[in-house]
Amino acid sequence: MKRLLAIVASCATALGLTALASPQAAAATGCKVDYTITNQWSGGFQAGVKVTNLGDPVSGWVLKWTWPDGGQKVVQGWNATWSQSGSTASATNVDWNRTLATGGTADLGFTASFTGANPKPTAFTLNGVACTGSIGGEEPPPDPDPGPGTGTPVSINGQLKVCGVNLCNQYNRPIQLRGMSTHGIQWFSKCYNNASLDALAQDWKSDLFRIAMYVQESGYETDPAGFTSRVNSYVDMAEARGMYAMIDFHTLTPGDPNYNLDRAKTFFASVAARNAAKKNVIYEIANEPNGVSWTAIKNYAEQVIPVIRAADPDAVIIVGTRGWSSLGVSDGSNETEVINNPVNATNIMYAFHFYAASHKDNYRATLSRAATKLPLFVTEFGTVSATGGGAMDRASSVAWLDLLDQLKISYANWTYSDANESSAAFRPGTCNGSDYSSSGVLTESGALLKSRISTPDAFPVG
Ligand code: IDC
């Protein structure tokens, strides 16, 4: 996340109420606010707001500011309950950050639309008291936040959970995971070994490794025990490198996941029991339902999810959506069928897939709309056409990736493999060797994804 602008609020103090009370009885008040525009694009921006309490501890707080030109409108915020009246924004604590000790901080953020020059607010209040940046002329205490955590994605974020429409880490802070999907593990096992996983974790700095276990097409149904154990060993390889592992039950043809219901129950009962104690596992129960109604998918989900929960109660589970996980769009429908009839389960997200050369503005509009109502995870996408081949569409891919970053939607790209198709990240033959790191082994798509995934995560901590 680029730090473009940072300001510290600092203005004259006006503690009228405190001045009237006797000095001994007065609660010490004071606060400091850092308002940072972390990203800005045409007509919109994202900002982080860090408030530090410099006074006595508070339990329950409201932070307010007014934009000088009134051109901003909060679209979505996190780590607070947001409201706006005219040009004044208010962020009210949520349950888990209600208490701010002396020196305690809360990190909030929001996306907003804007017109005009987007000037930064210069005055903030916390519970009605102006934030002056210091109290009694003293310097503010040193920043207790060590900044972006060091460590691996899993060591920093721990057990994930769904909070609101976001994927959150162990600190209940929204995060975005960026990573890669395998190709079908029945075909490309030569691509998944210590050297390739080292490259994914260290060079790509990938947060996520999606394990695409096809059920048909010479996959799981031909050797349930063998594929189950292979998936488990990939989970371990990801865990050893601090990456999240997504176990993808890669249904594709036939498109009705109920065709594989018994297999799904058997498979997920086994992998959930075996991996329950791990923090790095995410379950994806049906890759791409197609030619089937949302009701049928929901019915499948409500039978498979309890099987996983019985063994692994706290893991995040992802449900595929109609029309090849397009939230119905590829079937002429849209997200409302899910919003109006959600899966009856908690701690779940919905899958959204796209292929950038085939799926453009109307799919992006659907994702943007749906993201305000549903927790979404792009468990698979390609930079090319929906066939997995054809030319990479750079402009559409970049538009998609920018949108996912703005919305903090996690993603996995198809594929971390050397398949002879343009969606693959490596050139054909790469997996016969041991070099997964040099730029010469990357395809055009691989180079784009590596450049996007390897930028710092700045996962929020504390
Ligand atoms: C494609 C593979 C291709 C394989 C085909 C059928 O890239 O090599 O022959 O599957 O198994 C999806 C699917 C994913 C597809 C991919 C590209 O989830 O399995 O992989 N795609 O067609 N949905 C949209 C596109």
Q: How many CB atoms lie within 10 A of CB 17?
A: 12
* Residue where a domain terminates, one of 118, 145, 172: 145
CA–centroid distance, 178 to ligand 1, in Å, is: 20
The closest alpha carbon to 40, from 80, 1, 71, 76, belongs to: 1
Query: DSSP secondary structure string, 394-428?
Result: HHHHHHHHHHHHHHT--EEEE-SS--SSTT-SB-T
Active site residues: 288, 380
* Residue where a domain terminates, one of 117, 145, 173: 145
Instruction: Indicate whether 254 and 369 sit together in one domain.
Output: yes
pTM of the model: 0.72
pLDDT in the model for residue 137: 39
Residue 447 sits in a domain whose CATH number is 3.20.20.80
> Is 89 in a helix, a strand, or coil?
strand
What's the DSSP call for residue 330?
Answer: G
For the record, the structure tokens of 22 come out as 């006797």
**Ligand 1 binding pocket mutation candidate from 331, 423, 426 (most atoms within 8 A of CB):** 423
Number of domains composing the chain: 2
Residue 134 sits in a domain whose CATH number is 2.60.40.290
Instruction: Indicate whether 160 and 99 sit together in one domain.
Output: no
Please tell me whether the peptide bond between 254 and the residue prior to it is cis, using omega within 30 degrees of 0.
yes
CA–centroid distance, 423 to ligand 1, in Å, is: 9
Which atom of ligand 1 is closest in space to residue 414's alpha carbon?
16
C-alpha span between 278 and 272 (Å, rounded): 10
CA distances, 348 to each of 87, 168, 284 (Å): 35, 12, 10
Ligand 1-lining residues (CB < 6 angstroms)? 217, 252, 287-288, 324, 353, 355, 380, 386-388, 414, 419, 421, 423
pLDDT in the model for residue 26: 60
Let me know if residue 248 belongs to a domain. Answer: yes
pLDDT in the model for residue 382: 98
pLDDT in the model for residue 134: 58
Instruction: Indicate whether 181 and 134 sit together in one domain.
Output: no
C-alpha span between 178 and 164 (Å, rounded): 20
CA distances, 283 to each of 160, 301, 450 (Å): 12, 12, 24
Which atom of ligand 1 is closest in space to residue 380's alpha carbon?
18
CA–centroid distance, 209 to ligand 1, in Å, is: 17
Instruction: Indicate whether 330 and 204 sit together in one domain.
Output: yes
Instruction: Indicate whether 428 and 291 sit together in one domain.
Output: yes
Instruction: Indicate whether 219 and 345 sit together in one domain.
Output: yes
Instruction: Indicate whether 39 and 137 sit together in one domain.
Output: yes
* Residue where a domain terminates, one of 124, 145, 166: 145
* Domain with 132 in it: 1-145
pLDDT of the chain along its 462 residues, tens only? Answer: 334 434 443 333 333 333 333 444 567 778 899 988 877 777 888 788 989 998 888 999 999 999 999 999 998 877 789 999 999 999 999 877 788 888 888 888 888 899 988 999 989 999 988 888 754 334 444 434 444 557 999 999 999 999 999 999 999 999 999 999 999 999 999 999 999 999 999 999 999 999 999 999 999 999 999 999 999 999 999 999 999 999 999 999 999 999 999 999 999 999 999 999 999 999 999 999 999 999 999 999 999 999 999 999 999 999 999 999 999 999 999 999 999 999 999 999 999 999 999 999 999 999 999 999 999 999 999 999 999 999 999 999 999 999 999 999 999 999 999 999 999 999 999 999 999 999 999 999 999 999 999 999 999 997
CA–centroid distance, 278 to ligand 1, in Å, is: 29
Task: Show Cβ contacts of residue 313 under 8 Å, excluding neighbours closer than 6 positions.
Answer: none
